[in-house]
Amino acid sequence: GEKGLKDYYKDYFDIGVALPTRNFSEAETSFFKKHFNSVTAENAMKIQPIQPVQNQYNFAPVDSLVAVTRRLNMKMRGHTLCWHNQVPDWFFKREDGSTIDKATLYDRLKTHIYTVAGRYKNDIYAWDVVNEVISDKKEEFYRPSKFYEIAGADYIDSAYTWAHEAAPDALLFYNDYNEIDSTKRSKIIQMIRGLQAKNIPVHGIGLQAHWALNEPSESQLEQTLKDFSALGLNIQITELDMSIYPKEHQSREWDAARDKNTLYTNDIANAQAEKYAMFFKLFRKYSKQISSVTFWNISDKHSWLDDFPVKNRKDYPLLFDKDLQPKKAYEAVIDF
């Protein structure tokens, strides 16, 4: 049949999509099959959804997504084994409500990783093992998460070791956002180099790529890809989208944009197409390192950005419109 996005990019990298675990219509499944060859669960494999209660795992939704992915002959990325967000309360607490110690945290994290990575070791070819541990604040290296407060930074090394033991064939990634910021990027690179120096099994770096119409610029993105390439690791773009709103939430421009809520004008559509074309031009240029580009959500019908950074502000961050029709941005990305 007609070519889809993944076919245009078959000589460069895989094209992925983040999916929920609801049932999909036939139209949706054929749309997935046409454009994508990789799937990430948007939420279902995180600690809260998959182990809401200690030792009671909610595997069923993940199992069906894995089955759909297999049936459509697509690869699957795993997201994520260790993240400060979407962790259930029990994880850090004893029965009496007090905070657990480091040994207990290690025990729980190891059990979690062994159970989840182990169960899907033949399904998931790449795992975001540790997610977002680097701080966005200039003066701070690690994010002061509960994990970090209880265990210091050592648990990061262990998480990779455990994931490798549980799923020896999986590529293990470190995944983070705001990677276009040079200060944060240096810290990410410094941390990865530290892992490499200790022979910790880390094979790839995930750039979430939650970007916007106004950033990154071409030179900023090129510098980002160049810096990460120097690590000699596999690079994957793991959560790509492009908000039509400027990133600086407090700025006057942002307020003006908010007033124009739901206005996906022709000008914005054109600017977005141009920007997406630039992203993909650079992805192709670095395709020796980049093995996969995943979009975070399916189409503009629903994006996590509809509720972030403010609730109920419709965004238009993807290549397909609410009816799964290709936007100008799609045409721009396949035109090379």
Q: Is 37 exposed, middle or buried (0-12, 13-18, 19+ CB in 10 A)?
A: buried
Residue among 12, 35, 42, 332 that touches ligand G3I (CB under 6 A):
42
Read off the DSSP letter of residue 96. T
| Nearest in space to 131 (alpha carbons), one of 90, 191, 74, 66 | 191
List binders of ligand G3I among 168-187 (CB under 6 A). Answer: 177
* 11 contact partners, CB below 8 Å, separation of at least 6: 287
Binding mask 186-215 for ligand G3I (x = CB under 6 A): ----------------------x-------
Catalytic, 239? Answer: yes
Report residue 37 as tokens: 């060859």
Asked if residue 61 binds ligand G3I (CB under 6 A), the reply is no
By beta-carbon proximity to ligand G3I, the closer residue of 24 and 106 is 24
By beta-carbon proximity to ligand G3I, the closer residue of 61 and 326 is 61
Residue among 29, 30, 43, 54 that touches ligand G3I (CB under 6 A):
43
By beta-carbon proximity to ligand G3I, the closer residue of 237 and 273 is 237
Q: Of the listed 42, 132, 179, 239, which one is catalytic?
A: 239
Residue among 136, 304, 314, 324 that touches ligand G3I (CB under 6 A):
304
Smallest distance from the beta carbon of 257 to ligand G3I, in angstroms? 20
CB contact at 8 A, 238 and 294: yes
Please identify the residue of the shown chain whose CB is closest to the bound ligand G3I.
304
Alpha-carbon distance of 118 to 138, in angstroms, equals 37
By beta-carbon proximity to ligand G3I, the closer residue of 68 and 240 is 240
Alpha-carbon distance of 33 to 298, in angstroms, equals 12
Asked if residue 239 binds ligand G3I (CB under 6 A), the reply is yes
Residue among 85, 122, 182, 190 that touches ligand G3I (CB under 6 A):
85
Applying CB under 6 A, what is the total number of residues that bind ligand G3I?
Answer: 8
By beta-carbon proximity to ligand G3I, the closer residue of 31 and 296 is 296
Alpha-carbon distance of 144 to 151, in angstroms, equals 11
| Nearest in space to 272 (alpha carbons), one of 309, 310, 318 | 318
Alpha-carbon distance of 205 to 127, in angstroms, equals 10
Beta bridge partners of 175: 131, 206
Report residue 279 as tokens: 């992203």
Smallest distance from the beta carbon of 140 to ligand G3I, in angstroms? 19
Asked if residue 99 binds ligand G3I (CB under 6 A), the reply is no
Report residue 17 as tokens: 């999509």
The residues that touch ligand G3I, with contacts defined as CB under 6 A, are 42-43, 85-86, 177, 208, 239, 304
Catalytic residue positions?
A: 239
